[in-house]
Structure 1
Amino acid sequence: MLEKPAVGRDLEKSQELLIPLLQDIQDAYGYLPPPVLEWVSKKTGIPISRMYGVITFYSQFYLEPKGKH
């Protein structure tokens, strides 16, 4: 049986954790700042396009700070 290389498993694990990771970032900043997303992409190997796909799919994520009421 062929196994995925360790790097592939790490990337797969990172993608499984993408939503909780994005939630943590948004909790810290109040939104998802593009420079932080780029940094996370480089560190995890998750393509930025994949992140934006998830971010724009779920209405819980914000790419801009929310205004104060």
Structure 2
Amino acid sequence: MSFARSGAVEQPKPRIQRNTPRILARRGWSINTAAKRLGCDVGHLSRVLSGERSSKSLMTRVNELPNLIS
């Protein structure tokens, strides 16, 4: 059996999701440390940050992380 591609065009990721890994790094957070602080799985956080999954509440909490670099 053969499966045809749906032909759907992948939409560009929202700016916040494209930039969030850089934002974490600029604030001094690694994805592992941020996931622990946020109480979520590293894989889930990674998928949300990459735009593969959607979670407004997690993105809000990511944006509320304090700066660790002065």
* TM-score (normalizing by structure 2): 0.30
* TM-score (normalizing by structure 1): 0.30
The structure that is helix-richer by fraction is: 1
